[in-house]
Structure 1
């Protein structure tokens, strides 16, 4: 019971808002308020100052918060250590990934591990960068794989494990398909299909264009779509061009459906990064995965394989 109360207290302290904490914990607001009140009665102290804008920690609340964090960390570490010692316990890695990594990179990694480490199980969540970072902070997942701008937080460790190039993609029947590169000014002439505002790919694209002296508002954006697959289908139909991860169109370029063009003199790269917590005890299986991601030669080989068309082993 006390662990649940501590989790509620920690969420309210970090969100500074009871309604938001209730939403994140999938609990009712009255239930959250009652648990906070019970804690304050139990310890004989007021932990929060309440205003119309939310709540803030009192001095007693700040002291209690630091101790609650330590207690929850100890309990979490104990659970991990006991799980590792359990006989015949299969390894389980809980991780999260952003869209491009989750759809085009993670499947190859999991296919490789399926053969190399059949003793491992995985639970993977695909979501945006903000959601993955929050899950790492709240220890719902222990490893996050993200693309694009990295959230800054004192409790997060960010390690780059790959560089992904953004390329201009046109259908193979487009006049530009005979070229290997284009200029930034060329982009202004064509209808552009992009991800929605707020997506990692969109943010990286706009930042890169600004750094190269081009205002993104000058682009002729005719469609904004919420998935990479939808963008690819629209471009394949000849309804526009796009700027997208080279990973996502590798197969279509080999099949001569698309042509990927570099941006002349100004190639656009973005880091793919691993998110972990500063203070956490990783299991041996989690360390195995992180070491694999840092082995550039092995990872390059894994990502170059076509597991979809591979012949099944006898």
Structure 2
């Protein structure tokens, strides 16, 4: 029956029997037969034929939602059973946006390793759009993303921290003596930004729109897919940038950069946990999510208070082992 469900789900998502047959490496008659068997089993027609392919009927839409949940449950069961039978370590698949992946996640993973040394972490670093798609496709289980995220019926989004976007410029810039600038002033400066699709870029553009400014009028001279690369370009005097304050704490302390705040209104960047709304989380995944919502511990992680982190990790290890 699981094979029938897989076939149904593929046809429902591609809306094309020919394409489904190619993706599943099956013949079209076999696909059609399995769909017919399901319709006979449940006493309802699940698809209507159209000029472009097939469309779900009302009954098909209801059945599709239940099939997805059943397949997700079976997939989770297989993972847990395989880990038990093969004696494998438990694995958490994480997708992380660049800022979190470069500047926050390494400390979180170091902390988790102390609290749960029996768990392995598989991490993919990508932008927000790529991570959300991977979660929908079950390639990763937990996403850590930055900035505004448009609601999706199949995804849960929970904020776990709030960071401030700041203007970063080289120490020899004319604004270096100032403590703050207005957002409107940024429009006249060569700006180095993250690529479209990143959470930081979206937060910046939304801030401009909320203040009645047109983000299309920004003098963007360079788009880069790496926060580290942006900092290198800014340090060379090729522009200024608006990025997470977490990413420049070290450089500002060493006077490599000058950090200037937005005068008219601060711009905050939400750091979010993104998960599939229909998948039951494992105990280890839930532990990670609970940790992210513990502001005291996350605050220690972000401040890099390693001594306190170790004490917190030992305490959590004792609590979770009882």
Q: Report the TM-score when normalising by structure 2.
A: 0.82
The answer to whether the aligner puts 1:40 opposite 2:35 as a matched pair is yes
How far is the alpha carbon of 1:250 from its aligned partner?
1.9
Contact 1:8–1:32 at 8 Å: present in 2 too?
no
The answer to whether the aligner puts 1:290 opposite 2:289 as a matched pair is yes
Using a 3 Å threshold, how does the CA distance of structure 1 residues 236 and 19 change in structure 2: closer, same or farther? farther
The answer to whether the aligner puts 1:230 opposite 2:229 as a matched pair is yes
How far is the alpha carbon of 1:195 from its aligned partner?
1.9
How far apart in 1 are the matches of 2:224 and 2:249? 20
The answer to whether the aligner puts 1:216 opposite 2:211 as a matched pair is no
Task: Please state whether the residue corresponding to 1:269 is helix, strand or coil.
Answer: strand
Using a 3 Å threshold, how does the CA distance of structure 1 residues 82 and 233 change in structure 2: closer, same or farther? same
How far apart in 1 are the matches of 2:270 and 2:263? 20
Task: Please state whether the residue corresponding to 2:94 is helix, strand or coil.
Answer: strand
Which stretches in structure 1 are left out of the alignment for 5+ residues? 308-314
How far is the alpha carbon of 1:106 from its aligned partner?
0.9
1:17-67 deviation line (CA, Å, top 9, x unaligned):
568879xxxx64874856632422544666433445453113564454244
How far apart in 2 are the matches of 1:127 and 1:79? 27
How far is the alpha carbon of 1:177 from its aligned partner?
1.7
How far is the alpha carbon of 1:235 from its aligned partner?
0.8
How far is the alpha carbon of 1:259 from its aligned partner?
1.3
How far is the alpha carbon of 1:303 from its aligned partner?
1.8
Q: Report the TM-score when normalising by structure 1.
A: 0.84
How far is the alpha carbon of 1:163 from its aligned partner?
0.5
Using a 3 Å threshold, how does the CA distance of structure 1 residues 19 and 305 change in structure 2: closer, same or farther? farther
How far is the alpha carbon of 1:171 from its aligned partner?
0.8
How many residue pairs were aligned?
302
Contact 1:18–1:29 at 8 Å: present in 2 too?
no
Contact 2:169–2:234 at 8 Å: present in 1 too?
yes
How far is the alpha carbon of 1:94 from its aligned partner?
1.1
How far apart in 2 are the matches of 1:118 and 1:296? 22
Q: What does residue range 51-70 of structure 1 map to in structure 2 within 5 Å?
A: 51-58=50-57, 61-62=60-61, 64-70=63-69
How far is the alpha carbon of 1:208 from its aligned partner?
0.4
Contact 1:8–1:35 at 8 Å: present in 2 too?
no
How far apart in 2 are the matches of 1:181 and 1:168? 9
Using a 3 Å threshold, how does the CA distance of structure 1 residues 197 and 43 change in structure 2: closer, same or farther? closer
Q: What does residue range 167-178 of structure 1 map to in structure 2 within 5 Å?
A: 167-178=166-177
How far apart in 1 are the matches of 2:63 and 2:27? 17
Moved more, 151-160 or 131-140: 131-140
Correspondence for 2:114: 115
Which stretches in structure 2 are left out of the alignment for 5+ residues? 307-322
1:176-201 deviation line (CA, Å, top 9, x unaligned):
22222111232133211112233322
Using a 3 Å threshold, how does the CA distance of structure 1 residues 216 and 66 change in structure 2: closer, same or farther? closer
Moved more, 74-83 or 248-257: 74-83
Task: Please state whether the residue corresponding to 1:271 is helix, strand or coil.
Answer: strand
How far apart in 1 are the matches of 2:86 and 2:39? 44
How far is the alpha carbon of 1:161 from its aligned partner?
0.1
Task: Please state whether the residue corresponding to 2:167 is helix, strand or coil.
Answer: strand
Q: CA RMSD in A?
A: 2.9
How far apart in 2 are the matches of 1:42 and 1:250? 62
Task: Please state whether the residue corresponding to 2:172 is helix, strand or coil.
Answer: coil
How far is the alpha carbon of 1:70 from its aligned partner?
4.0
1:210-238 deviation line (CA, Å, top 9, x unaligned):
11122212322222223222221111110
How far apart in 1 are the matches of 2:154 and 2:133? 11
How far apart in 1 are the matches of 2:79 and 2:217? 52
